[in-house]
Amino acid sequence: MSDHVHEPSALGGPMLGDGVSTDMVIELRYRPLGDVLLAEVPLLADATPGSVEVLDGDVDLRWIEVDGVELLAALRVVHARERWRDPAFPLRSLVPLDDLVARADRLAGDSLAARARALVTVQHRASRAALARDVILPRRCPPVGSSMDLVRALLLVAEAVEAAARLSLGHDPVRTIRLVAAVREAAAVLRQSQGRPAPGASVGALRLVAGGVPLSVSERIALRRLLDQTLDVALWPRVAGDLVDLAGRIAPWVAMSPLSVE
């Protein structure tokens, strides 16, 4: 079984700025394990380093200026499937992710090693106009916030869930470790996302708040709501406070002193 699909381009090579051939080839690479999409427009990406714009904790875009117009040269998206579910996601119309995911599903291997190696590469074609920054991101990026308190609160919640699991007999350990890991990952991503939200990581964690974890129904509802609200930077200060309160309800002893230094 092949763990690598490559669709060679049947397209002619576009000429940069020739004013005649306006389509450009985008090389797409999708890794199903990790749900990571990387793309590059070779004609642009090899030109100059350009400028990198971090859209949020999941997405960054590299732009190259050609004739006074910023064009998309490369992109990286983590939690791609999650992002493509959002109708307003700016790259949705540019990259046919559903096609990549369908190809990846056909590659699903029997072994973890095969799934880890699985890679779908496709050469896609887009008009030069579709690569313009003004088309992809007609609005400027939303304002950034200070994620410090939010990160701290998420770590505290992860600690509280873990602590609650130690005292709970009826929970599912696999679901619990996945939730704890996802919340920690969201915290780590938010810490490093330069004050921008991390929708993929946050929603990824949100989806794991389900039965089997050592939380009551009301605690699960509250955690889902708060993780959803991490997508809005303006809500971060209040969400951080609410998460700390929630951690206190889940495991009061952790919220009081989560780190015991000898």
Partner 1 sequence: MTRPTRPTRPVTGPTADGDVDRPPTLEEIEGYAAAVRRAVVRSFSGRPPLGGFSADDVAQEVVLRFLEAPVRVMRAYREPWVFARVSATSRLVDLGRRDRVQRGEGVRLVDTSSGTRPRRVAVWLDAPTARSGDAHDDLRLTEPQSSVEDVVLDRLAVDDLLASLSDADRRLVEYVDLLQFSVTEVAQMEGLRRETVSRRLAALRRSLVDAVGQVAP
Rounded to whole angstroms, the Cα distance separating 143 from 141 reads 6
Rounded to whole angstroms, the Cα distance separating 255 from 244 reads 7
- Contact pattern for partner 1 over residues 166 through 185, marking x by CB under 8 A: x----x-xx-xxx-xx--xx
Q: For the CB of residue 99, give the shortest distance to partner 1 in the complex, in Å.
A: 19
Closest CB to partner 1 among residues 10, 169: 169
Q: What residues form DSSP beta bridges with 26?
A: 124
Closest CB to partner 1 among residues 11, 52: 52
Q: For the CB of residue 45, give the shortest distance to partner 1 in the complex, in Å.
A: 8
Q: For the CB of residue 131, give the shortest distance to partner 1 in the complex, in Å.
A: 18
Q: For the CB of residue 6, give the shortest distance to partner 1 in the complex, in Å.
A: 14
Binding piece for partner 1, criterion CB under 8 A, among 18-26, 88-96, 126-134, 149-157: 149-157
Q: For the CB of residue 19, give the shortest distance to partner 1 in the complex, in Å.
A: 28
Task: Give the helix ranges, DSSP H, for the chain.
Answer: 42-45, 80-84, 97-107, 112-117, 133-136, 148-167, 173-192, 199-206, 217-229, 236-250, 252-256
Q: What is the CA radius of gyration of the chain?
A: 21
What does DSSP say about strands 59-66 and 69-78: parallel, antiparallel, or unpaired?
Answer: antiparallel
Nearest CA to 231 out of 37, 52, 86 is that of 86
Residue 76 makes contact with partner 1 by CB under 8 A = yes
Residue 119, Ramachandran bin (φ over 0: left; ψ between -120 and 50: alpha; else beta): beta
Q: Which residues bind partner 1 (CB under 8 A)?
A: 29, 31, 33-36, 38, 45, 49-50, 52, 54, 57, 60, 62, 76, 78-79, 112-113, 115-117, 119, 148, 151-152, 155, 161-162, 165-166, 171, 173-174, 176-178, 180-181, 184-185, 188-189, 191-195, 256-262
